[in-house]
Structures are given as C-alpha cells and as structure tokens.
A and B are shown apart, each in its own frame.
Chain A
Amino acid sequence: MKRNTHTAISLLLALALVVSLLCGCAGGAPSSVSSAAPAGSTAGEASSAPGALEEATLVMYVIGGEPVGFPDMLVEFNKLLKEELNATLEVNWLGFADYLTQYPLLLSSGDPVDLIYTATWTNYYQEARKGAFLPLEELGPQYAPKTWAQITDAAKFQATVGEHVYAIPSGKDTYSAWGIAARGDLMQKYGVDPITDWAGYEAYMDAIKANEPNMQPSGVYADGKQQDDVVALSRGYYPLTGSTGSPYWIDPSQEHPTVFFVTEYPEFQQDLAMYDRWAEKGFWPADALANQDSTMQETGKSASQIHNVDWWRDLCILRPEWDFQWYEMTNHVEIQSAMQDGMAIPTSAKNPERALMLLEKLRTDPRYYDLFVYGIPGVHSNILEDGTVEALNPDVFPLDSCGWGFRTNELTRLPTGLPDSYGKAVESLKNSVKENKYRSFFMDTDSIKSEYSAIQNIMSQYYTPLVLGMTDPVAGMEEINKQLEAADNEKVKAEIQRQLDEFITKWDAGH
C-alpha cells in the first residue's frame, strides 16, 4: 500500500512536470518589432496620406469602469479614426477592484495590446523592468513627433527605467500640496484663528473637542492617516517614494542628502510627543484604524481632514453651507512626478507605430481628445464658450473617466461650475511651485525586495499605531528599532543611498 502511494506521488509529480512543459505555459510575449527603422520610413511618410496606411485594429487598455455611454462614443470616434488613420480602436477596461491582479496577468498572457495606461500606482517601474513595454526613444519621435516634443526633459528622466524610456507621461501638471480641510463655520463660531502651523491645528481641534462632543476633531481613519507624512513634509523632508507612507526620507536642502528611516529625522521625538498628546486628548478614537468610513467629513462626523486640494474642492461643492477652508501645510508645493499618469506600448503590441499615431492625435488634436474624454457633444456633454465642459448625463458618460494617461495642459478642460475660490487656490499653487529634483528619483527596490517588503510590514504593523498614539512611545520605538534591525534596515538604507548618489551624479551631469 505504502509503496503504491509513493509511486503514485512520484508518477504524479513527473507527469505534472512533463505535461506542463510540453503543453505550454511557455508564456512570454511574442517578440515584436523592436527596431522600427524599415517599417518606419513608409509609415512616417504615410501619416499624411491615410490611404496608404494598411488597415489596423488597435487594442487599448485603460483602468476604470466602462461608462454605459462609452460604446456609442467609440462608434463616433472610430469613424474619425478610420478616415484619418485607417484604424479601428477597441478599448478594454481593467476594473478598479482588480487592476492589481489583472494588469500583470494581461501583460503575461502575451495577448496583443497596442496601448495601455501606466503609472506609478500601476507599478510602472517594476513592470517596465520586467520587460513589459517597448522602448520609445526611436519610435516616439518618429510616429508621435509633436507629443515627443511636449515631454519635458525632467519628465523623460522620470519615465526612464534603466537605459530606456518606456512610457509617454501625461502632459498635465498635477500638484502635490497637502493641507488641512477644516470647517469654516465652526472656526467662526468658536473664534478659532486661521491655521498656520500645527499648534494652530491643535487649537482648532481643542475647540471642537470642547464644544462638539459628537464630532471627531481629526479625520483619522483606516485609510486616512497621512498626518505624520504631512507633518514630516512640513518640516521640509521629502519621502523617497514620492507619496505618503514612505519608509525612507531625505532632507532635500542638504547638498548631498543622507537617506534615513522615517523615525530618524531630528524633530521626530518632538512630533511623536505631539501625536501622543493628540491621541490622549481624544482627537481620534483609540480604534480609529478599524474605522473604514471615508465619508466622515461630508457627513459631519469629523471636523477636519489632512488631504489634498482636490479633496477640499469636492467638499466645497458638496457642503457649501459649512464653508470649508483649506490650509496648505507643507510649504513646498511641487509638481507631481510625471509618471503619475502615462501611456505605454506593451511588448506584445501588433501595431506599435499606429498606436503612437493615435496617441499623437489624442494629445494634440482637440477633435480627438474632446470626443474621447468628454463624449458626444450635445448627448454626453456640452463645451461652453468659456472653454469649460458641462456634463449632460454623468451617469451615462462621466467626464474624463479614462483619459488620464494622455492629458495635457493645453487640451484639458475644467468642469463648469467650480467655486471661484478653487481657481484662486490653484493659481496660488502654481505660483508657489518649487522645483525638487528628487521628484525624478526612483527608488528601485528590486535588488532588496525581501528586505523592503519586511520594512513595509513594519510600517503598517508598528509604525502606524505608534504615530497614532496607540502604543507607548518609548516601548514602541524600541520595538521598531528591534524590527528594523531584524529586517536589515542598514542594508536597505545603504542600497537606497547608493542609488541616490548615482542619481545625483547623473542629474548634475545632465543639467
């Protein structure tokens, strides 16, 4: 009996091995035209004369939910496309829920995809490194010359992975500006001064705590815990991931910055004491991390939230009666990384040239962009005389549901009916933008991914409860330091430092 089972097991294993090797699972994208030189010359000439272009079907993938009215728009769009580029576009959607699963699967499957949305949040750098996209230095200028010229050097630098540029970053500036959205009506009621620093914020929360027993003074909840990031930003430090929750930071004002773990900046102990005091005062409940309610501020359950300017804009529109105010806290507004949004050509593309020609149209020709992003005029939206766009049926065709990857400052339109103060706020953001070369630095954790994943775990398991005053500051710090040592923090830091040094040399040479 026993022997039988043994033989059965080894037979099975052998069978599985043989079968799977034989039958495929080879995977891998079929290698496609990497050098475009021969095909290029003909297509390049032909771009002015569509008749000469061979008929092609382009497959594009974007992230989001497909609006109900989208197919109708696509019919119209394809008429235009057929006439001018002799191509038909097929758009597929990767749902918000599962793009993290579907995106890598799609790229692995080798299914032909001509154009795909990519961004830092869809792991652009990691995917590019794994050979997902075509390099564009040659194809780009040839088939999308105007677009290629639009990309700034800094943006190109940010889209570079290893030796190549694998994506065309979007051409619209988005601002990284963090601040506090607070209730203007309550500030007036309780005589609180406009917030200029963290002590001011504390005073505001004190007033709320004293007078509004049913309101949570701060907006801390499971997905809203950017407080410590913003405090560190306001001290002038920069997170190396470029976004919140970064384990590693630098001081950009230094000539040659040193990488440090987030708890290692000089004022950290002082800030930690402040968080602890806030928690003690009950600015957020002790179980805030279990709370998943993202609507606390619009429903009046919390009195403030640390977030970006768009968050505040939406609140203004939703609850004009509460007179929401926004206080910029970081003192250095920056233009976000260009790779916040972009488009790439997967290695599996059948028509990379035509895909780039389409991208050129979308980025530079308002006929294409307006139709694709705002829908059929008169049915889905109206473009008003002042250049703003009015959604006629946002349920059927919400504005700008899929065009993030190819937005440009020139073609993007504002929605009709924004409050005046929004324009002012954006204007002031534009004026206070500071350049930060480290935005172009990409921290490559590939060679240290085991250690880095352990560090990420430390962030959520030990660091977050610490800065929300849920663990004892002294014991909590000790625990973190112990864990950091076990996760080989020094090695990770050294590697990132090496990359940063390399970046600085490269950057200085280029500028």
Chain B
Amino acid sequence: MKKQNAQNALTPTGATGALAGKKHPLWSEMKKNRSLFLMLLPALLLVLLFKYIPLGGIVLAFKDYRYDLGIVGSPWVGLQNFKFFFLSGTGLRVTVNTIVYNAANLITSQLLSLVLAVVLNEIWGRRFKKIIQSVSFLPYFVSWILVGAFVYNIFNVDNGVLNHFLVALGHDPINLYAMPSAWFFIIMIFNSWKWVGYNSVVYIAAITGIDSECYEAADIDGANVWQKIWRITLPSIKPTVITIVLLNVGRILRGDFQMFYQIVGRNGQLYDATDVIDTFVFRSLASGGDIGMTMAATLYQSVLCFIIIVGVNALVKKIDSDYALF
C-alpha cells in the first residue's frame, strides 16, 4: 500500500496529465456510444459492488486482525503474515507443485475435451452421439468426496480392485499410497475424467457456430475428414481454445482444493508430490484459522497469477492482438 502512495506521489504531473488528456476522449466516447455503455452498466455495477469494494480486505494480509478494532483499526505487522509460508522452504516447493499440476491438468483435460468435441462432430449416428454427450457430463456431478471414495476402493492394498486384479494375474499387490510419483498421473486422469464432458460443451458449441457452408465447400472439393478437421474445425474454434487456455493460465497458482484434499486426504507420505498451495495453507492453518495469514497466502497467489497472466497476455497480444484477454 505504501508503495502505491509513493508512486502516485512521485508522478503527479504525469498521472494527472494523462488523466486530464484521457478524460475527454472517454467522455465523448461515452456520449457517442451511450447505449453500449448502458449495456455494460449492470455488469460494471455488480463487479464494483461485489468484487472491488471487498478488495479492501487485502490490507488484512499486512495486519494483525482484531475483532474489537476492526479492519481499519487493527495494527500493522508488515510481512509477518507471509512468514509461515516461506519458513523451511515448503512455500517454494508447493508453488512449483501447483504450477506443474495445473499446467499438466490444463493440457490433458482440455485436450481430451477438444478431441471429444471434434470426434462427436464428425461421428455418424445422431442418437449415439447424443447419448455419449450426455453420459460424458455425468462425472461433473460426482463430487470430489465421492471420487476420493472411489480412488480408495480402486487402489487400497488389501481390498482394492487394482490389487485384486494384480493378484489374480499372479503379481504382488502394490501399495500406491507409498509411491508419491504415481499420484501425479492418478490426479491428472481423474481431473480429465471429471471435466471432460463439461469442458467439451464449450468446444461443441463453438463447432456448432461454424458456418456449415465451409464444410459443404470442402466436401465439394473432395477434402477428407482429417483435412476438414485440420483446415476448418480447429482453425474456427481457435479463438475459443485460446480464450480458455488463457483463462486457465490466469489461475495457474490456484489448486482445486477439494480435488487434492479428497483424493490424497491426510496422507503425509504423499505430500511431497501432491501438495499444492491451497492444501498446504489449509493444513498449516487448520487449527488456528488465522485470517491475516490466510489472506497473505491468497495475496501471494494473486500477485504471482497477475504477473504470469500479464506476461502471457502481452505475448499473445504481440502475436495476434485479437486473441488477447485484455
């Protein structure tokens, strides 16, 4: 916060100059496009009210919050609230884990959904297509807590489906719960499975939006199915794919807490490989529930996400400004 003030104080002329200069075009733009601005108004108000005003809570990351003194009155503690995160080096490890998991999950789950959407688009048999599309949506409704129960049912040492199978084949049973590296793949598979139907809906809708004249023309030219996918379908839905990838990159430091917590549970042996920021923070603060420290961890995630997305967005803008998020 201090920095913020300092910056404003340092550049009074520049800032106000720019502002004064800008005010005019914005004003005339608003006059010119009054109806467009009016159409934006409800959303702007909602976001202002429910998102921007509560942003004041960020100061709690630098405060020792007291009920009787309130947010404004509570004493400042500097960076004290951030300390727990970096003590003993765990913070760095879980940050790396979070990024690796999210990147892998992003690629695998979006790729699977994309393939599903493309295949559904080309396949014969209307009814079959509809059934598969509906069925693929089912995992979305299975809560992570139930997924956790399934995972245990499949992988547990004594009664797990997997080990029954291995034993029947004459292998020794394996204890995956002592093999941290396996969980990277297990989590990736279950994540893709859960979101496949849900994510593919966006792609299916995007494909639906493709002008059917394009396909007809391709048919006349004698293009085969692979060519049609490669030359028409994929390029047409590229903007949607890029939007979704960018949106997901913007939350690359946020883990799906429920997924990790329910699949891995309280299994200390797996933490090294499966800990993400959210689970680590949850575990460290579980009994104290310190508001300031929680806010500090959230702010850390936000700042990193902000840096990453602004960078990636700038890169995309350079290549093709149409695809940028902002």
Contact = CB atoms under 8 A, between A and B. Distances in A.
- Indicate yes or no for A touching B, C-beta below 8 A: yes
Contacts of B283: 456-457, 460
B122 interface: no
A286 B157 contact: yes
A402 interface: no
Contacts of B271: 460-461
B152 interface: yes
Given A19-B52, A28-B71, A449-B288, A486 B88 contact: yes
B90 A454 contact: yes
A96 to B, nearest CB: 15
Q: Which has the most chain B C-beta neighbours within 10 Å: A2, A25, A453?
A: A453
Interface string A456-469: 11001111110000
Given A25-B53, A449-B290, A487 B156 contact: no
A21 B268 contact: no
B267 A290 contact: yes
Interface in A435-470: 445, 449-454, 456-457, 460-465, 470
Contacts of A287: 155-157, 175-178, 267
Contacts of B84: 449-451, 453-454
Contacts of A486: 87-89
Q: Which has the most chain A C-beta neighbours within 10 Å: B19, B89, B271, B284?
A: B284
A104 B291 contact: yes
A15 to B, nearest CB: 7
Interface string A1-31: 1110101001001111101110111111101
A479 B243 CA distance: 44
B285 interface: yes
A131 B69 contact: yes
Nearest to B87: A454
Contact of B87 (A19, A131, A488): A488
Given A13-B4, A25-B71, A222-B265, A454 B293 contact: no
A131 B66 contact: yes
Contact of A460 (B68, B90, B266, B290): B266
Contacts of A7: 15, 18-19, 22
A470 B288 contact: no
Given A1-B317, A19-B52, A453-B293, A464 B268 contact: yes
B22 A450 contact: no
A425 B103 CA distance: 57
A292 B261 CA distance: 12
The 9 closest A-B pairs by CB, nearest first: A28-B70, A20-B56, A131-B68, A486-B88, A450-B84, A287-B177, A27-B70, A450-B83, A453-B284
A69 interface: no
B311 interface: no
Contacts of B156: 285, 287, 290-291
A25 B54 contact: yes
A290 B152 contact: yes
Contacts of A31: 68
A132 B67 contact: yes
B246 to A, nearest CB: 15
B268 A453 contact: no
Contacts of A19: 48, 52-53, 55-56
A342 B75 CA distance: 29
B68 A28 contact: yes
Contacts of B178: 286-287, 470
A457 B286 CA distance: 10
A471 interface: yes
Contacts of A21: 56, 72
Given A454-B88, A460-B283, A27 B71 contact: yes
A20 B52 contact: yes
Contacts, number: 179
Chain B interface main SS type = helix
A222 B266 contact: yes
Interface string A97-113: 00010001001101000
A490 to B, nearest CB: 13
A462 B1 contact: no
A91 interface: no
Interface of B: 1, 4, 7-8, 15, 18-19, 22, 48, 52-57, 65-73, 80, 83-84, 87-90, 148-149, 152, 155-158, 175-178, 265-269, 271-272, 280, 283-291, 293, 314, 317, 321, 326
Given A28-B73, A287-B175, A454 B55 contact: no
A504 interface: no
A449 B286 CA distance: 12
B72 A487 contact: no
B267 A14 contact: no
Interface residues of A, number: 64
A450 B288 CA distance: 11
B8 A14 contact: yes
Interface in A121-139: 123, 126-127, 130-132
B172 to A, nearest CB: 13
A330 interface: no
16 contacts: A14-B8, A19-B56, A26-B71, A28-B67, A108-B65, A123-B288, A222-B265, A223-B266, A285-B158, A347-B67, A454-B84, A456-B287, A460-B266, A462-B268, A463-B268, A486-B89
Contacts of A453: 84, 284-285, 288, 293
B8 A450 contact: no
Given A107-B67, A285-B157, A457 B72 contact: no
Contacts of A291: 152, 156
Nearest to B22: A7
A21 B1 CA distance: 12
A452 B272 CA distance: 19
B289 A100 contact: yes
Nearest to B263: A290
B250 to A, nearest CB: 15
Interface string A314-335: 0000000000000000000000
Interface string A476-491: 0000000100111000
Nearest to B55: A16
A461 B158 CA distance: 23
A471 to B, nearest CB: 7
A449 B269 contact: no
Given A20-B52, A347-B68, A460 B268 contact: yes
Contact of A5 (B8, B83, B326): B326
